[in-house]
């Protein structure tokens, strides 16, 4: 039923992308890099920022929501009509990987996020000594996720590495699930 309702939106070719993750993971820097904005002046997001980009004939509305612990209880206010969830992980932050897993798995239980694609960006992969995608996949227990189609990609918000590939995956998955053409 949910997929039928989502396909009813086929005319607008618009997608809602929710970008979440713990604070300091690099969510806002990723959005700025995608928008070709200066990535050298980024401050913590208190609340949310919405950016819209035309990408492969689709309009992506990217909701970048702050990840500080005090803001996480408000995340549920942004779940409505989400087509894709981009979960950003700081690949250098081994200490909080357990917290990251708990937050992610809690999100995936939310009914309003059912059916959304899940892209995990392992950000800061350009930093020496960072965790590999296998380390993060194991730490987040991604193989246990059967409720959402997911993938994981290393990326760098500073250099732009793999950001386009991530958006490509989101759009391709959404085309298969959401649109009739």
**Is 174 assigned a ligand-binding role in the annotation?**
no
**Is 77 assigned a ligand-binding role in the annotation?**
no
Catalytic option among 33, 56, 68, 154: 68
Burial group, residue 2, by CB count within 10 angstroms (0-12, 13-18, 19+): exposed
**Is 22 assigned a ligand-binding role in the annotation?**
yes
Q: Reduced to 3 states, what is the DSSP secondary structure of residue 177?
A: helix
**Is 124 assigned a ligand-binding role in the annotation?**
yes
With CA atoms as reference, report the closest residue to 64 among 34, 92, 38, 94: 34
**Is 151 assigned a ligand-binding role in the annotation?**
no
56 is catalytic: no
**Is 126 assigned a ligand-binding role in the annotation?**
yes
**Is 125 assigned a ligand-binding role in the annotation?**
yes
**Is 115 assigned a ligand-binding role in the annotation?**
no
Q: How far apart are CA 96 and CA 89, in angstroms?
A: 10
**Is 81 assigned a ligand-binding role in the annotation?**
no
Residues 6+ away with beta carbon under 8 Å from 21: 27, 67, 87, 88, 89, 90, 100
E-only strand ranges, 8-130 = 14-20, 48-55, 58-65, 84-90, 117-123
**Is 13 assigned a ligand-binding role in the annotation?**
no
Q: How far apart are CA 150 and CA 116, in angstroms?
A: 9
Residues taking part in catalysis:
68
Annotated binding site for Mg(2+): 28, 45
Annotated binding site: 21-28, 45, 67, 123-126
Annotated binding site for GTP: 21-28, 67, 123-126
């Amino acid at each position: 039923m949910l997929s039928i309702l989502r396909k009813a939106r086929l005319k607008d070719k618009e997608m809602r992308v929710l970008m979440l993750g713990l604070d300091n993971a690099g969510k806002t820097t990723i959005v700025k890099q995608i928008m070709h904005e200066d990535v050298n002046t980024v401050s913590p997001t208190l609340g949310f920022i919405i950016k819209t980009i035309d990408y492969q004939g689709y309009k992506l509305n990217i909701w970048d929501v702050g990840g500080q612990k005090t803001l996480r209880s408000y995340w549920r206010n942004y779940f409505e009509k989400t087509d894709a969830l981009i979960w950003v992980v700081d690949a250098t932050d081994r200490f909080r990987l357990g917290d990251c897993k708990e937050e992610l798995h809690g999100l995936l239980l939310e009914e309003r996020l059912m059916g959304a694609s899940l892209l995990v960006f392992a950000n800061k992969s350009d930093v020496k000594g960072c965790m590999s995608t296998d380390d993060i996949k194991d730490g987040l227990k991604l193989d246990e996720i059967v409720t959402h189609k997911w993938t994981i990609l290393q990326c760098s918000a500073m250099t732009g590495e793999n950001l386009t590939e991530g958006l490509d995956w989101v759009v391709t998955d959404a085309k298969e699930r959401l649109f009739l053409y």
